[in-house]
Structure 1
């Protein structure tokens, strides 16, 4: 019987030495993967502090769960937060109970999700193609730019990717295996995906599964998927929370409760771009597609190799005669479905995270096939050369730009608060996750010398070494060098993110309030107010561990939950602020940069500045109690 691993390669590749197709030993491969994860992801768990907006808001919901024991209704700053599925918050709540309320605990489940996703990619690609393809798939997942960027804040995409990929893998295994355990794992993973991101998980899985089963004819083996008992298992896992959440959260805006807001508003109306309230943006189509060259960088440089090899293998794929061809078909169907779906729907840059594993695994398999025919196949050799030439050119250009920035800022003093050096252009009104990159200025390099120097060295040296190794036919070493270069660059990027902490997080201002309470400059449990939406300073509520009153902040994620009759009275108008300011107990007002002009007009000189950082300020209504 033909091995699925070898039959996935062109005939020419069989004549190559076995070592060309084989990767490092399993123990070495796993050691390398875990080592990369420790260096890039685990080491990054301790800093920076939780960021404002989604990061601290989601952590706040998990904190409430951990303290209250209410595992059904998500709550942020005392207000119902009904738009999200619960599983990520359950994991965070468990992590908080074990490790305390800190950045490490908040981001640990997500970091573990990255490791498990890489290990799944390694196992799946090894099973489908070869041990080297598996190794390449694993290291590319760990070092792809998008995987790193979109796990710096706590959003559920990496967990959704893990559960959906697990379900798809078990779909393949169950359809050709007599073991019912694969089918039950598939239904379990699908239920967990729904509890992670909602109904979109069903759209992606069943959409891909139906097309795949129809094309391959494996729908005839539908009994192997355990549809009846599997559905019972699925509903036993996924249904209870939805039912309880619906029963416990009724009587909101216009009589609507959880069922309308979660299923209709957050799923169907969001897809149509009519969600209430509209506090999100949409990428233009050309950016949505082309930015995947960035999110999958540096491995996206080998896209042409994947297209070339896929075209050559099209007859093999059409036969669906082995696990490799069926894997390739399922990956393609799933990736196209997700990309087309979010081309039509509203989107954020990270929404297509679930396609990263399929696309990177296909690139890994194509690269291994190209390496195995490197001596005979001139066309593949040229495309690999073009990829390395492009990588080297990008690396040298970036290194020169970084060197120029370092040189131009050589006489500038180091400024710990990088927010003072940024442009604050507000591209996309900061509703797109990458908007802050447009705020960089030349003087900001004074605060970024270490990460800029580290990135400059990696990009100047790594691509050249990888190209040199490739020219010597040391393919495994060359591809590993690309991964290591990307890993060093990502470590530098995380150091840069730490430098941005004063701008992106208000944890230091929360620390100032705690310190003043401890030294009796202000009374314990002083009333804290935040001007604007809670997302502007969500880390203050998290690190203080208490409710923050919102002035002119009944908006975005707070809006629907505030319409329930039992919602705490935390929303104040500008007139309310003027009425209570300077009377009764002390007030401390947090003001984001975006609202400074409004507050200056409203309060004028009737405020005392306590602390200011990156344009964000703490004001009080009377002198401190020294």
Structure 2
């Protein structure tokens, strides 16, 4: 069979949606302004961001692409693909923030394009456009790509594998696509795009290759999500009878060829750790099974309370989460017609998309509601939820004149957004007004409350540290956010009342985009507290001015995550005082682990003797060090409650 139409990235047909050129301009602008422009600041943050960057840097400098290392210690808890990508970027662009976060920003663009193509072939050009802009303007997608974590890459590969599975099972879906929902005469009719036919081998092998890359990104949890979803989908639809189309034997060999070599080499090269355990026990049992059960060693993760776990998704998917009631109502009303049709061999690509994505999103949400979790673990469910929500928005727009129920829930979403916008704007304006006499302070950390919510193991903990005076350092982003929330939702609602639907929905995206740009500016203002790069800069300055020797011993007090950006920017091994904890614990038990771990007794006995010592002390451990060293410490620099101290006066 010949291709039914040439391949193109965006939709060629724009019936019911914006013209391809306009869509490309809007999507490209949103990506450039929200994501690409954010690649240059702030510097790498302490904790996961700089820790993972250290591991990638070790790969780039040593050429060892098998064993991850942080500060010279084996770091065996992570899959390698994200670190390979960043190591490649280091080789191309140097060791900087841009290189660390570029793969994630590119993954965001690819995820938006994949969502566009999937929605276009299942529903049509308008749903495709909405899906792409919702990916680019959702709060969670923005927030959880500010740091070097693998969730966006995992989401991309899992979504690609699911799309490829669906295309493999229904290669000629354009010939049996169901009719579009009826729309009023004054609205253009949207219909699914004619699919590009790639032949019987392309999509099956894309499936297995994507699945292998997902495993190399996050581990075997990718297999749980994919095969759990595929099992239920194939069972419900009866498509298990078409298993040969998935090329399980040759595709399985391709999967093993991609995924197996690293696992085998990592197991062979990393043996003889804690209690005789090596990579296989630590990675497969400890990091997968015991982590799910909440018995991982060491236990350094929190589990969100159930009410927070579920309700926070309204924040991560904001502003599009306001349309979730519309999505639920649409699904409930169509259950009698859509669900039975899913069992039919002639069911439409749209119907099967709804079933597949619904099962996939539900599996991820339920899985992590039972497991230990962080806020961003459910990231792979964002695209499925957003795509289904955008399909519901499109259907409601096209039946707006005749369907009072859908119209009511669309108005509810706009009313909620407008009300929230007014409340947010009032809160921000109040903060700006009360801090109007406060002088601007570059280091916002000195103005925060440091409440330690969740012991700072949750990604949103620092937001609870905000105080009234801290708005003095946030005037510009607060003003931009207030402007966005005060004006944007009202304009969107007015456009909706005029039945200019595409303009109304796009205005919601623009409102969110302006807010996210403001959030990034605020994020940069938080960098003195979240990053310790200024301390690394100070050390390098002292060395360049010959005030300290380049042989000066650099020490961090406590866990390396407290000051991981120092080790990255100095590009040297640092010693850890009472830091044989968390991610450094297992790697420290290998016989060839460098001797970088000191106790309080070691610090006391060596302080003031031998080579000069510089000790970085995080805010959380200042009291401990004050009690330990007392007046024997000389402060070199302080910022955001953190301190750099030395054991003797600086050379003149």
Same fold (TM over 0.5): yes
Task: Provide the C-alpha distance between the structure 1 equivalents of 2:437 and 2:141, rounded to a whole number of angstroms.
Answer: 36
* Cα root mean square deviation, aligned: 0.9
- Under a length normalisation based on structure 1, what TM-score does the superposition of the two structures give? 0.96
Q: What is the CA deviation profile of residues 114-135 of structure 1, one whole-angstrom value per residue up to 9, with x for unaligned ones?
A: 1100111111101100100000
1:450-494 Cα shifts (integer Å, max 9, x gaps): 000000000000000000000000000000000000000000000
Runs of 4+ in 1 over 3 A off after TM superposition: none
8 Å CA contact 1:611–1:618 kept in 2: the answer is yes
Residue 597 (structure 1) shift: 0.6
Q: How does 1:283-294 map to 2 (within 5 A)?
A: 283-294=304-315
* 1:101 aligned residue (89, 95, 101): 95
Does the CA-based 8 Å contact 1:396-1:460 persist in structure 2?
Answer: yes
Answering whether residue 358 of structure 2 is matched by residue 343 of structure 1, we say: no
Task: Give 1:89-488 correspondences, 5 Å limit.
Answer: 89-177=83-171, 179-314=200-335, 315-320=337-342, 321-488=347-514
Paired residue secondary structure (1:609): strand
Deviation of 1:289 (Å): 0.8
Q: Does 1:551 align with 2:577?
A: yes
How far apart are 1:63 and its partner, in Å? 0.4
- What's the offset of the Cα at 1:308? 1.6
Kept after mapping to 1: 8 A contact 2:551/2:611:
no
The reply on whether 1:497 has 2:491 as its aligned counterpart is no
Mapped contact 1:91–1:109 kept (Cα < 8 A):
yes
C-alpha contact 2:82 2:217 (8 A) present in aligned 1:
yes
Among 23, 34, 38, the alignment partner of 1:40 is: 34
CA-CA distance at 1:317 after TM superposition: 3.8
**In the TM superposition, what is the alpha-carbon distance from 1:285 to its structure 2 partner?**
0.8
Deviates more, 1:314-323 or 1:71-80: 314-323
Residue 359 (structure 1) shift: 0.2
SS of residue matched to 1:72 = coil
Report the count of equivalent residues. Answer: 608
Report the equivalent of 2:177: none
Mapped contact 1:317–1:326 kept (Cα < 8 A): no
Q: State the distance in 2 between where 1:161 and 1:128 align.
A: 19
- 2:561 is aligned to 535
Q: Write the deviation string for residues 549-602 of structure 1: whole angstroms up to 9, x where unpaired.
A: 000000000000000000000000000001111011110000001100110111
Cα distance in 2 for residues equivalent to 1:260 and 1:363: 41
User: What does residue 49 of structure 1 align with?
Assistant: 43
CA contact 1:317–1:328 (8 Å) conserved in 2: no
Distance 2:61 2:20 in 1: 43
TM-score (norm 2): 0.93
Alpha-carbon distance between aligned partners in 2 of 1:584 and 1:293, rounded to the nearest angstrom: 56
Structure 1 counterpart of 2:8:
none
